[in-house]
Amino acid sequence: MEERNLSSWEEFEKALKDIRDEHEQSDVQLKSSSLLFRGQENSSWSLTTTLDRKRERMLFKDYYGIITRIRPQIETLTGSEWPIPDYPQVRKDVEDYDKFSMELWCGRCPGYPYLAYLRHHGFPSPLLDWSRSPYVAAYFAFNKAEVSTNKVAIYIFAEISNKSSGNRMSVLHRYGPYVKTHRRHVLQQSEYTLCTVFDDAFRFEKYDTIFDPGRHQQGFCWKLTLPSTERTKVLRLLDEYNLNTFSLFESEDSMMEMLAVREFDFQEAP
C-alpha cells in the first residue's frame, strides 16, 4: 500500500487527479473498472471489517448460520423479506473449494443483498464498504473526525486483472453496485470487498497483506492522509453540493445532525 501524507484538501484533489491519470494510463494489469474510495476518521486505523472487530477470521459457515438465525426477527420488525440460500446447502458448499471459489469469483456471494442490508444497519459484517465517489469517502473521513486524531485517511482501491487465487491464499472479491438492497446502498454509491481464504473450509481473512507486491497481490491501494483541521472546510464544501449526513442517510436523525453541523460548525460563534 502506498501512503501519501497531504497537508490540505487542495493537495488531496491534485493527488486524486494524479492517481486517476495513473490508473487510466498504467501499463500494468489494472482492471478498467472504476476506482473505489473509503474514508476513515482516524489515519491510524487499519482497513478492518466490522466483523473482524468482533471475531477475527470467522468461518463463513458460522457467520452464515448467525445471519440465518436472526433473519426472522428482522423480517418481522421491518416487514421486508430477505430470501437467502438454505443454511445446510451453504454449509456444504463452503467446504468444496473448487465449487465455492468459482461462485465467489463469478460474483455470486450467497445472500449478498441481505449482507449489504445488514452492513448498512450496523450488524457486524465481513463486507468492507467503499464508494465510487471520492467525495462520499471524504464525508465519512471528516464527518466525525476530531482534531485530537491529527489526521484522517481516504483509501483508493484499484483492481488487478488476472490476479492469482488458490488454496490457503487470501483472495479479494468485489461486489456491487447492481443489487436490490437498502436505499443507502444507492445514496452512498456503495460497493464492497470481501476477503476470504480456504483452509479446509472458507473463512473471512484480514486485509493485512493483500495489497503487498508479489504473486499474491490482490489489488493496488493508496492511502491519502489529511489533517483533521480541514474538517469544517471540507464539510462546508461538500454541503454546497448537497452531500451531507441527510442526503446520505435520509432519516430524521440524520437531518438533525446535518442541521446541527450547519448551525454550530459552519456559523461563527456569537
Band of residue 33 on the pLDDT scale cut at 50, 70, 90: low
Quick check: is 173 in a domain? Answer: yes
Quick check: is 235 in a domain? Answer: yes
pLDDT for residue 231 is more than 90: yes
Band of residue 102 on the pLDDT scale cut at 50, 70, 90: confident
| DSSP-derived pairing of the beta strands 171-175 and 202-204 | unpaired
Quick check: is 37 in a domain? Answer: yes
Number of domains in the chain: 1
Quick check: is 175 in a domain? Answer: yes
Q: Which residue in this structure is represented by grid cell 465449487?
A: 99
State percent of the chain over pLDDT 90: 68
Q: Which of 7-11, 149-153, 168-172, 212-216 has the lowest mean pLDDT?
A: 212-216
pLDDT for residue 3 is more than 60: yes
pLDDT at residue 20, rounded to an integer: 87
Q: What is the mean pLDDT of residues 82-110?
A: 88
152 beta partners: 226
pLDDT for residue 269 is more than 70: no
Spatial CA neighbour of 10 closest among 224, 242, 173: 224
Quick check: is 270 in a domain? Answer: no
pLDDT at residue 52, rounded to an integer: 94
Q: Give the orientation angle of helix 9-25 with respect to helix 231-240, to 10 degrees.
A: 70
Quick check: is 65 in a domain? Answer: yes
Q: What is the pLDDT of residues 164-217, one digit of tens each?
A: 776 778 899 999 888 898 899 999 999 999 999 998 889 999 998 888 887 788
Quick check: is 176 in a domain? Answer: yes
Decide: residue 174, CB within 10 A, 0-12 exposed, 13-18 middle, 19+ buried. middle
pLDDT at residue 31, rounded to an integer: 57
Q: What is the average pLDDT score of the chain?
A: 90
Quick check: is 130 in a domain? Answer: yes
Q: Domain of residue 54: give its range.
A: 2-265
